[in-house]
Amino acid sequence: MTSIETVSSEDIPSIDNYTEELIAELQLPVAKVSGAVNDEKGEVRALYERANNQNLTSPIIDLFARLLDLRRQDKGCSDDFDISGDELHRLAIKHQQIDEHMVSVGGRLARALPIAGEANSRVEEYLAQKDQVAPSGIEKWEQIQENIGRIKAELKMSDEDWNSFQGQIRNAIDSVATLSKLIDLPEDVLESIARVTKSYRMRLTPYYTSLIMPGVINDPIMLQSVPTGEMIENAGIEIPPVAADHSPARLIDQFYPRVLTIKATNMCAMYCTHCLRLAHIGRRDHMYSKEAYNEALDYIRKNEQVRDVLVTGGDAFVLPNSILRWLLEELDAIEHIKVKRLGTRIPVTAPMRVDAELLDILEESSDKKPIRVVTQINTAQEVTPVSRDAFREISKRTFTVLNQAVLLKGINDSRVKMWKLCETIQEAYVRPYYIFNCSYRNPQFSHFRVPLAVGRDIVESMYGNISGDAIPRYIATAGGKIPLHRSNVVRREGDDYVLRKPWNDEEAEYPDADPEVYAEDLFAFNK
């Protein structure tokens, strides 16, 4: 083929192989033209007119798609609908000229659309199930409001009580007697709770209690807040808490050279049934002295390699605003501290705590050095319009809000439940950060543990199917945080690698960087 010198190749777009093949297939005569062709002729001609008259890509795709469909059903080829090969060529070129990225009809129809279709099929099951299997507190809001009305009346709480943190704590549910008035539970279950709460502390805020769905056995909110008999039955040999090995100074835990935690309180608004700090949470709430905080701060001041301080507990938002403000100011004043974190589950268990004063404190400190608020949301049901508002306000005033979920049997141990959790929290201004495997250290909650293979499948299945920044890292805590992701590097082939696509197990060849080029000392501006 010779080209005409005066015409640039841009003026005569070439037809790619996908389109050549497509046009050839459309023109292939059928053995016997079906009588039905007459029925479809009008429809095809109308599609043809639209493809011709409109300066859009989709009418051209629609025409080619319909012709392909008819050809594959052996009803007729393009000529049977009075569309010649030249016409098809002309329309194919028109499509390429309209499309900003010069995508061909063949590429779009034969490649891109089937690939997108295959991708859609990977999320079909999730989309069909997510709102039934894992409803969010936003979707359940009507029922929750009904629960709130009932609980408020039963506990004789005023609106003012309900909407204040102090009111929530004052009216917290810590006895089986009160619980049984708010939730319908069978006698034997109540007995078992009575037995277990002699050894393990129970406390639910009225707000968190309102998230429990009536009549649901093993409701994910109840599982996280009401201790069950298994905690006693499982109580075997407890592996000592890590604190002894990792607490170099008063209130401090340190696993890493540059990040450490201050356990600033032993209190939480609610006590979780899967809490790692089981041993640390006292039978009674008490405040720590400034003296204790100062010893912790002194350790941080003296250790200049530390740059990131995580204020946790218990729950950092249990601290009164005045203490929180003071602690943050002290940290901001330490030159080598560059970033801070606050660990809190209170926006989930008692979102009323997130008041204007607290938000001002957060903003003021975050303006100096970034604050990340690290929370724990384990099920979409914990995200309500109220907690979502709290997270939105926090995210406006700080660097970001991160979520550390715990992988828990019956609560979030399926693809549908975990994908829904990750998407729901992202829609509530929270970024999925970690999924922790439930600890092996405390036999009291071994009934909540989920096998590693299940956890891996859940996390790996997110790649390619939900937004990348909604995918958390899967972590085991064993003297520090150890990632549990399966490697996607399948093997080495010569200088190259073969990688695995997590979403369909397809392999992809991946040429590595040339080691000789990489080893060159002189490059870029010093070459």
Which stretches of the chain bind ligand PLP, using CB under 6 A?
A: 253, 255-256, 259-261, 310, 481
| Least distance between ligand SF4 and beta carbon 279 (Å) | 11
Structure tokens at 490: 């399948």
CA gap 189, 173 in Å, rounded: 17
| Least distance between ligand PLP and beta carbon 454 (Å) | 23
Of residues 372 through 391, those in contact with ligand SF4 by CB under 6 A are 376
The correct pick among 106, 220, 314, 351 for binding ligand SF4 (CB under 6 A) is 314
Q: Residues touching ligand SF4: how many (CB under 6 A)?
A: 10
Residue 271 in contact with ligand SF4, rule: CB under 6 A: yes
The correct pick among 63, 182, 262, 268 for binding ligand SF4 (CB under 6 A) is 268
CA gap 319, 288 in Å, rounded: 10
**CA atoms within a 13 Å half-sphere pointing along the CA-CB vector of 493:** 10
Structure tokens at 217: 């056995």
Let me know: does 384 contact 425? Beta carbons within 8 Å: no
Q: Which is nearer to ligand SF4, 331 or 350 (CB)?
A: 350
Of residues 317 through 356, those in contact with ligand SF4 by CB under 6 A are 345
CA gap 421, 415 in Å, rounded: 10
| Least distance between ligand SF4 and beta carbon 271 (Å) | 5
Residue 173 in contact with ligand SF4, rule: CB under 6 A: no
Residue 394 in contact with ligand SF4, rule: CB under 6 A: no
77 C-beta neighbours (distance < 10 Å), count: 19
Q: Scanning the structure block, which residue is given the tokens 């707000």?
A: 207
Tell me which stretch binds ligand SF4 (CB under 6 A): 102-110, 121-129, 267-275, 324-332. Answer: 267-275
Q: Which is nearer to ligand SF4, 313 or 502 (CB)?
A: 313
Structure tokens at 46: 């109308």
Alpha carbon 117 to chain centroid, angstroms: 24
Cis geometry, peptide bond prior to residue 464 (ω within 30 degrees of 0):
no
Q: Which is nearer to ligand SF4, 156 or 284 (CB)?
A: 284
CA gap 351, 384 in Å, rounded: 10
Q: 340 by DSSP, 3-state: which? A: strand
Q: Which is nearer to ligand PLP, 61 or 259 (CB)?
A: 259
| Least distance between ligand PLP and beta carbon 299 (Å) | 14
Q: Which is nearer to ligand PLP, 59 or 432 (CB)?
A: 432
The CA-atom distances, in angstroms, between 37 and each of 40, 279, 360, 468 are 5, 78, 72, 47
DSSP 80: G
The correct pick among 83, 155, 272, 425 for binding ligand SF4 (CB under 6 A) is 272
Q: Which is nearer to ligand PLP, 29 or 480 (CB)?
A: 480
Sheet with 400-407: list strands edge to edge: 252-253, 259-263, 308-312, 339-343, 371-375, 400-407, 431-437, 473-477, 481-483
Residue 413 in contact with ligand SF4, rule: CB under 6 A: no
User: Contact residues for ligand SF4 (CB under 6 A)?
Assistant: 268, 271-272, 275, 277, 313-315, 345, 376
